């Protein structure tokens, strides 16, 4: 199975399970101030344009207090909660990849001189990000991008620099969204790897606290400065209940058993053509996906022709240009593009990176303008298999209990 | 570059509002650099001085709507080494292609006091219907930075970077929250050619499709989704029948919805 990599990752990165402690809202605010004081640019959830997006956060006042989201295939709406939860939403349209793997980046410049031209390389960005509110599925997505950009023969030095400087303050999900399926992908909802600090928000009666524990030496040092109180047994138990409750709320499920073989054996399945009837090949799913990493390079010259620049920009396997080689595009039809994306994400990704490319965040479902649901599409193919009929019926697609 | 070796560039106007060719004059910061590299040989909006052809590059704005223009474009093509159309009119017939869906004689009889003086065609057509076009720059109006890019690419003998993918890609790269998914706003972004840097969604409006259809546009799926979410067929007709009403994909989609209505 593709999730073997996570086990390897866990082995190589020892997470010292520290005794959980407790902070209040003021403690969380102190944490933000401490991180800012340490030279981190704190990025966390905030409300903008009727959505929860990741942006600069200066105090807890910037966090989306009392907001949650309702999601379905092709729709996302912010809703008011009955409490003042700061992390009471599921996931917004953005992922952390926009910071670690920016949508547009200049790679180098060239200036013409009398002898030829001078290459001016781009300096590494040494900004220190502290990401606040990172969910378990998102940490898994970052671990996958690490494999692509760092643990590969062609290390992306810019990504590596940003990644190594970054600090992760994770949050255990207090609720699951309608398009969530991290349980199926074994990527959540409990934060178990890749974090420096982890929070669980506890809202009971008059009490609004956060269970906090460190997952790294850096996290330990910061936690000391936050001056948290030791957690009581009740708080630890409550936090476990919250996470278990979230795990039971998944809006979607995906049967991952033999998924690689299933997709490889069905490259000519009629489902692809049907999906192509709905798919807009607009590329939204790939742009919102926290693991999709494809980019294109564009060379530009100025009007004089003396100055040239090479830019890297997010690209998508849903565009015609993406597969254009000498003689034209290899994947002209939407059918071939959707098949490429889903088969890569769920099957050939396993061959390439020893992991699934999907973390079950559900963004591709929510942010597809016409609500195409990959869990449903996998289920359609699975249910059509002669030996699978009946055996796995009910798996995949929307959870009937939600 | 010596004056004599500068490429001669001509700007031509057909049925249009002049907005696209004025984009050239809008290139304030780059305008001086542009005029250093090219020789403006014919550009009535900028200068009365006209240099005779042939021309290295012709920028053509506007659609073909009269018999006279049908002959004029042939002559321009003959005089131009490279012919690039600029804007929705030249590329898909423009807003005036709305005439294509009605009887032109009725318009003439209603609008003009002396219809007998009017000599016009029953359809507004893009330049490519009449002559070979080397490159089409989309937009109503065109994006001036894309125009600078196209001229720079022409001067460097390279392909211009004007991707044919959806406007959604621009929204996502900018971090704009999808107005369609996030608010239920009608948006043509998923079927519209990029180039405007997702101007309208950035200001909380749906995309109006000013840059025309993207490559591989699935207008059928988008229209069906919008209708299943409360829009009407009539709204679809209006959405697809604007600046790029004459483009194949938008024209077809508007007709399908008109029949349903």
Q: List pLDDT tens digits, range A194-240.
A: 999 999 999 987 889 999 999 999 999 999 999 999 999 999 999 99
Mean pLDDT of the B238-256 span = 98
Which one of A110, A281, A285, A338 makes the best mutation probe of the B interface by having the most chain B beta carbons within 10 Å? A281
A146, A231: one domain = yes
pLDDT tens per residue, range B72-100: 999 999 999 999 999 999 999 999 999 99
**Chain A residues lying within 8 Å of B169, measured CB to CB:** 282-283, 287, 314, 316, 319
Residue of A nearest to B161 (CA): A298
Assigned domain for B127 exists:
yes
B35, B84: one domain = yes
A18 vs A226: CA distance, rounded Å: 15
Assigned domain for B162 exists:
no
A47, A29: one domain = yes
List strand residue ranges (DSSP E) for chain B, in order.
8-13, 39-42, 55-61, 80-86, 135-137
B76 vs B81: CA distance, rounded Å: 10
B146, B194: one domain = no
Tokens of A385: 């298999």
At residue A13, the pLDDT reads 44
CA-based nearest residue to A293, from A120, A194, A147: A147
At residue A219, the pLDDT reads 97
Q: What is the dihedral of CA A161, A36, A95, A240, to 10 degrees?
A: 110
Whether residue B173 and residue A50 make contact (CB cut-off 8 A), yes or no, is: no
Q: DSSP letter at B117?
A: G
3-class DSSP state of B106: helix
pLDDT tens sequence for chain A (402 residues): 334 344 334 444 444 456 899 999 999 999 999 999 999 999 999 999 999 999 999 999 999 999 999 999 999 999 999 999 999 999 999 999 999 999 999 999 999 999 999 999 999 988 999 999 999 999 999 999 999 999 988 999 999 999 999 999 999 999 999 999 999 999 999 999 999 999 999 998 788 999 999 999 999 999 999 999 999 999 999 999 999 999 999 999 999 999 999 999 999 999 999 999 999 999 999 999 999 999 999 999 999 989 999 999 999 999 999 999 999 999 999 999 999 999 999 999 999 999 999 999 999 999 999 999 999 999 999 999 987 554 544 444 454 443
CB B141 within 8 A of CB B27: no
Q: How many domains does chain B have?
A: 2
B113, B149: one domain = yes
C-alpha pair distances (Å), A328 with each of A294, A331, A332, B150: 19, 9, 9, 21
pLDDT over threshold 50, residue B66: yes
Q: Which domain holds residue B244?
A: 167-260
Strand partners, B55: B80
Whether residue B221 and residue A277 make contact (CB cut-off 8 A), yes or no, is: yes
Mean pLDDT of the B61-70 span = 98
B202 vs B237: CA distance, rounded Å: 24
Phi first, then psi, for residue B174 (nearest 5°) are -80, -15
| The domain boundary residue, chosen from A226, A250, A274 | A250
pLDDT tens per residue, range A144-162: 999 999 998 899 999 999 9
B216 vs A329: CA distance, rounded Å: 12
Of B173, B178, B183, the CB nearest to A104: B173
Return the exposure string of A135-144: e unless at least 16 CB atoms fall within 10 Å of the residue's CB, then b: bbbbbbbbbb
A291, A316: one domain = yes
A107 touching B, CB under 8 A?
no
C-alpha pair distances (Å), A396 with each of A268, A347, A349, A373, A383: 20, 16, 20, 10, 9
A370 touching B, CB under 8 A?
yes
A313 touching B, CB under 8 A?
yes
Residue of A nearest to B6 (CA): A304
Q: DSSP letter at A62?
A: G
A54, A115: one domain = yes
Whether residue A76 and residue B182 make contact (CB cut-off 8 A), yes or no, is: yes
Tracing tokens 């959505």 back to the chain, one arrives at: A51
Examine residue B141 and say whether the peptide bond preceding it is cis (omega within 30 degrees of 0): yes
| The domain boundary residue, chosen from B101, B122, B156 | B156
Q: How many domains does chain A have?
A: 2
3-class DSSP state of B77: helix
A365 vs A372: CA distance, rounded Å: 6
A242, A277: one domain = no
Report the gap between the CA of B69 and the closest CA in chain A (Å).
Answer: 32
pLDDT over threshold 50, residue B110: yes
Assigned domain for B161 exists:
no
B25 vs B253: CA distance, rounded Å: 35
B185, B205: one domain = yes
Strands A117-121 and A167-171: unpaired
Q: Is A327 left (phi over 0), alpha (psi -120 to 50) or beta?
A: left
Strand partners, B193: B166
Tracing tokens 């669980």 back to the chain, one arrives at: A200
**Chain B residues lying within 8 Å of A76, measured CB to CB:** 178, 181-182
At residue A398, the pLDDT reads 52
Give the CATH number of the domain where residue B61 resides.
Answer: 3.40.50.700
Whether residue B172 and residue A313 make contact (CB cut-off 8 A), yes or no, is: no
Report the gap between the CA of A74 and the closest CA in chain B (Å).
Answer: 5
Tokens of A233: 């047994």
| The domain boundary residue, chosen from B156, B177, B193 | B156
Q: Which domain holds residue A350?
A: 259-398
The number of helix segments (H) and strand segments (E) in chain A equals 15, 18
User: Following DSSP, what letter does each residue of A317-366 receive, concatenated?
Assistant: TTSTGGGEETTEES--SHHHHHHHHHHIIIIIHHHHHSS-S-----HHHH
A352 vs B30: CA distance, rounded Å: 46
């Amino acid at each position: 199975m593709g999730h073997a990599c996570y086990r390897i990752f866990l082995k190589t990165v020892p997470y010292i399970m520290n005794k959980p402690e407790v902070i209040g809202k003021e403690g969380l605010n102190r944490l933000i101030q401490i991180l800012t004081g340490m030279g981190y640019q704190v990025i966390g959830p905030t409300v903008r344009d009727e959505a929860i997006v990741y942006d600069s956060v200066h105090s807890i006042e910037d966090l989306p207090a009392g907001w949650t989201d309702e999601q379905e295939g092709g729709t996302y709406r912010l809703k008011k909660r009955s409490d003042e939860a700061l992390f009471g939403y599921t996931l917004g349209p953005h992922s952390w990849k926009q910071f670690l793997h920016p949508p547009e980046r200049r790679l180098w410049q060239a200036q013409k001189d009398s002898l030829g031209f001078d290459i001016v390389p781009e300096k590494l960005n040494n900004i220190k990000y502290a990401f606040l509110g990172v969910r378990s599925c998102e940490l898994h997505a970052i671990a996958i991008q690490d494999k692509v950009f760092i643990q590969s023969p062609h290390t992306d030095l810019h990504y590596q620099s940003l990644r190594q400087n970054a600090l992760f303050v994770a949050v255990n999900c207090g609720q699951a969204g309608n398009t969530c399926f991290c349980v199926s992908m074994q990527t959540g909802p409990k934060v178990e790897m890749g974090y420096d600090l982890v929070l669980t928000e506890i809202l009971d009666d008059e009490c609004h606290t956060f269970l906090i524990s460190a997952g790294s030496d850096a996290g330990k040092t910061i936690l000391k400065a936050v001056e948290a109180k030791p957690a009581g047994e009740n708080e630890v138990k409550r936090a476990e209940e919250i996470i278990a409750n979230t795990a039971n709320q998944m809006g979607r499920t995906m049967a991952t058993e033999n998924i690689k073989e299933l997709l490889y054996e069905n490259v000519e399945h009629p489902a692809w053509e049907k999906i192509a009837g709905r798919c807009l090949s607009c590329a939204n799913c790939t742009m919102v996906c926290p693991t999709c990493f494809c980019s294109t390079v564009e060379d530009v010259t100025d009007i004089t022709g003396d100055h040239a620049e090479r830019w890297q920009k997010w690209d998508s396997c849903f565009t015609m240009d993406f597969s254009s080689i000498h003689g034209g595009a290899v994947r002209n039809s939407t059918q071939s593009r959707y098949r490429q994306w889903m088969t890569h994400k769920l099957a050939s990704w396993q061959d390439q990176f020893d992991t699934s490319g999907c973390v079950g965040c559900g963004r591709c479902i929510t942010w597809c303008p016409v609500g195409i649901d990959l869990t449903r599409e996998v289920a359609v193919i699975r249910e059509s298999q002669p030996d699978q009929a009946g055996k796995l019926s009910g798996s995949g697609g929307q959870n009937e209990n939600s | 570059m010596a004056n004599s070796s500068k490429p001669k560039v001509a700007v031509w106007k057909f049925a249009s509002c002049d907005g696209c060719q004025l984009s050239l004059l809008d290139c304030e910061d780059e305008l001086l650099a542009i005029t250093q590299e090219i020789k403006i040989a014919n550009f009535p909006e900028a200068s009365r001085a006209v240099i005779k052809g042939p021309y290295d590059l012709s920028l053509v704005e506007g659609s073909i709507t009269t018999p006279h223009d049908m002959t004029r474009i042939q002559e321009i093509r003959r005089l131009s080494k490279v012919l690039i159309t600029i804007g929705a009119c030249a590329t898909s017939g423009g807003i005036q292609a709305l005439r294509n869906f009605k009887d032109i004689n009725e318009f003439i009889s209603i609008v003009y006091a002396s219809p007998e003086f009017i000599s016009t065609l029953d359809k507004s057509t893009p330049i490519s219907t009449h002559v070979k076009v080397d490159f089409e720059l989309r937009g109503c109006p065109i994006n001036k930075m894309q125009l600078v890019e196209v001229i720079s690419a022409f001067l460097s003998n390279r392909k211009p970077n004007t991707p044919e993918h959806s406007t959604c890609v621009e929204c996502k790269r900018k971090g704009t929250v999808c107005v369609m998914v996030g608010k239920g706003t009608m948006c043509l972004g998923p079927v519209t050619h990029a180039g405007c840097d997702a101007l309208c969604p950035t200001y909380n409006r749906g995309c109006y499709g000013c840059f025309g259809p993207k490559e591989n546009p699935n207008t059928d799926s988008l229209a069906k989704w919008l209708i299943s979410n409360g829009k009407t067929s009539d709204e679809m007709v209006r959405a697809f029948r604007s600046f790029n009403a004459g483009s194949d994909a938008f024209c077809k989609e508007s007709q399908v919805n008109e029949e349903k209505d």
